[in-house]
A and B are shown apart, each in its own frame.
Chain A
Amino acid sequence: MNTVMRMWFAVAPLLLLSNAALADWSAVNMRQGVTEISRGVYDLHMIIFYVCCVIGVIVFGTMIVSMLMHRKSIGAEPATFHENTRLEVIWTVIPIVILVVMAIPATSTLRDMYEAGESDLDIEVRGYQWKWQYTYLNDDPAKEIQFMSALRTSQDEINNLENKGEHYLLDVDNPLVIPINKRVRFLVTAQDVIHAFWVPDFAVKKDAIPGFVHEAWTVVEEPGIYRGQCAELCGKDHGFMPIVVRAVPEHEYAMWVAEKQQEAQAAFETVGKTWSMEELMTKGEEVYMQHCVACHQANGQGIPPAFPSLVGQGVSVGSIDDHIDIVLNGKAGTAMQAFGLQLNPAEVAAVITYERNAWGNNMNDMVQPKKLGTMMASQ
């Protein structure tokens, strides 16, 4: 009797603790998400969790009872048994049964996830060091929407010079926009190293592997903003490449598409005009700070040897054609990406001009978007 009392004293605080934790589940547990699949996954997670809890209570409970009752200090004499075939068969078979019972719903959820149905919308998701590119595939290439999506949190917030915003590290400049209640297929790949596209609310996680395309899909049921992160170590700024998905009703989606297509048209038109040095430098600095600063740094000095300096050395103060070439085509097998695939001609021309004339690189030459427009069109 006494030992049973003592046992309760040992267990009671634990129960209290777990109650306190229950009060705020979201900080400590997986979220249910907003798709049928994600709810199925959540249910599986809870089932297996409870199964573990039950086994834990039995095993640890037995141990605690044993530790209280079978101690030498209260005069326990050791028993002599050290084998019992029936017992051993039981505790081999029962776990097998539990596992089989677990495997059944797990298999069916997994089959659902792999169900390759017709999709309503195909989006190519391409991981770059350290941002995402989204391409809305369309049979008519002129109607294809393509944009980069990168971290919006400022360096000052990260370096504790400024208060951190509500969506610290989980905010991007251009979120992915998808319609609700449509089957959206993600074709996931990468340009440089392996990344992983993960949106917890959809229970979608797929590795983005250079040279391979893998599929994942989702049907989002509730409009909202869903945030995720790159989940595979991909180098220096792995922690700074979030994913933001805005799920909107269909009419809103149609409006967004129209707007994006107009933007693309406008950008196309700016390529035709002749830019002044000042315009190029302003635009160039903007592009540089958005796309190049992570590696080459704000002062252009880079982080040698991984990321070279652009100041007073190399192509930035050398052949302009080589300079255009490396920015457009990148350098295979290094972190230097083919920006021709990510930026429009005006942006490329501006950033090259900027690099040739910033930080005391006074080359006094410039690249006109027009020139690049023809080069990039032929790509």
Chain B
Amino acid sequence: MVDLSVHLAGVTLKNPIIPASGTFGYGREFADTYDLDILGAFSWKGTTRDPRPGNPQPRIAETASGMLNAVGLQNPGMEAVLREEVPWIAEHFHGPVIANVCGFSLEEYAENCRALEDAEQVKILEVNISCPNVHAGGKNFGSDPKSAAAVTRAVRAATKKPVFLKLSPNVTDIAEIARACADEGADGLCLINTLLGMRIDLNTKRPLLANRTGGLSGPAVFPVAVRMVWDVYEAVPKLPIIGCGGVDSAGAAAEMLLAGASAVEVGAANLRDPWACKTIIEDLPGVCQRLGVDKISDLTGGAHHGE
């Protein structure tokens, strides 16, 4: 028997597999495909204070081994999520919920975290800092250490729940951002979010996405994510990392753990194969046996040792 359980800042997950924000809605679409209780946790759609309609069509473009999305944080807003989604989740999933929260100002980040304080099932706040700061000309909070630190400080003061900052890969030195978040009391980090990209439509000679740019995800980004998890693990070895980006198999999940992750999020793979997380979870014991561990948590950071 392989022990698949892992720990994230005091929260126990029965296995390290977590559907990533934006690819799992609030869980409803997957409840008919498999029993949600097989999951370690799930991260819900990035939620803002106000409802957001998102970007105009088209919002999706295919790429080699992946996709671009420019959904634009479409979500029903925090109040509707608390009223309609949280009670539904309580009935259909009994593990820890990771609440992905976004904001366009420091105040909004703090407010969104406070709003979830009484949502008991929400065990971790995953703070998406790839959001434009309306007070700084739309520059992303995640794009420099100062603003990433400012968000961490604001959310740390607003909640007792563990906060994991979800880092953007669109930076020169992700380790520097990770350190800035750690210094302000982040309980953990999640990485990576999508890589900024673009496709041009040869028929119109214009960008394919109405938003022009979109976020790249899927197997194409996997090696970038593994490298960034590696760098962040070296920079802040004490903080638990949720590794994310291009994971589509139990083997890829194991690579993330070996690079330094304590748990693994699966994003775009869910869209191509709605049963992706179930298959990965079922394949994990076999991969652990092959790697010679009887506790999957022993894999975390394994690639850094024994050099």
Q: Please say whether chains A and B are actual partners in one complex.
A: no
